[in-house]
Amino acid sequence: MGEEIRTRIVSIGLLMYQRKLTDSSGGNISARDGDLIYLTPKYAGAHKRWKLELEDINVLTLDGRVLEGRGAPSREKSMHLGLYRTSPKVGAVIHAHPEYPLVFAAAQESIPPATDLAEEYGGTVDLVQAARAGSEELAQNVIAFVRERQHQLDIHAIPMLLPKHGVAVAARDLDEAFSILEMVDTNAKCLVLGRLAYAHWK
């Protein structure tokens, strides 16, 4: 069931880890195929270092019933399923811990656009309301954030900062979600290193 989607999720998860777009402590990926949701398992980083197998990917219904998969679904399951139930435009969701955006997440500051690509794809990356990682409250805060910005999915994805936690991207498909995640990281890197360089040059 859904071998192609599982293969894409496995591939993107490993690529995220290799490119330091997430770490061993967390992150999760999902994609929609009709009424079915494909979601990475718990401990994809901590236990597997993102070297997942197709059988590790959970297959769920929109109401959260697990049909297939080895191991429990990600603890952010409520966030993923809630986004799919909220908007039929959402086809993929990635949550990750990229190095440079984490600087802004830890400081609880939005990420302004520094590159032309960041300006083109939505401008400032804003923070959702803070809540504990993996909590139902965080899921509801992310869902509310995306609900207010659904129109953006007609043009581009919706990236967001999770305070003291990481980045989430709601997109039309997995390729777009990954591309926007990498764009957010590159933009944040330009800002962080640019500020350091400017302070040195002064």
**pLDDT (0 to 100) of residue 1:** 59
Chain centroid to CA 94: how far? 3
Q: What is the pLDDT of residues 155-172, one digit of tens each?
A: 889 999 999 999 999 999
Residue 202: pLDDT over 60: no
Residue 197: pLDDT over 90: no
- Which CATH superfamily is 3-201 part of? Class II aldolase/adducin N-terminal domain (3.40.225.10)
Q: Which residues of 84-93 are buried (b: 16+ CB within 10 A; e: fewer)?
A: bebbebbbbb
pTM of the model: 0.95
**Percentage above 90 pLDDT, the chain:** 87
CB distance 14 to 22 below 8 Å: no
Mean pLDDT, the chain, rounded, equals 94
The full set of domain ranges for the chain reads 3-201
Higher pLDDT, 143 or 71: 143
Q: Which of 165, 132, 164, 158 is nearest to 144 (CA)?
A: 158
**pLDDT (0 to 100) of residue 199:** 62
Give the amino acid at 151. Answer: H
Q: What is the pLDDT of residues 94-119, one digit of tens each?
A: 999 999 999 999 999 999 999 998 98
**pLDDT (0 to 100) of residue 121:** 81
- pLDDT category, 195, cuts 50, 70, 90? confident
- pLDDT category, 201, cuts 50, 70, 90? low
Residue 200: pLDDT over 70: no
- pLDDT category, 154, cuts 50, 70, 90? confident
- pLDDT category, 153, cuts 50, 70, 90? confident
CB distance 18 to 56 below 8 Å: no
Least confident of 17-26, 72-81, 113-122, 173-182: 113-122
Percentages (nearest 5) of helix, strand, coil residues in the chain = 45, 20, 35
Higher pLDDT, 27 or 195: 27
CB distance 110 to 126 below 8 Å: yes
Q: And the tokens for 48?
A: 């597997």
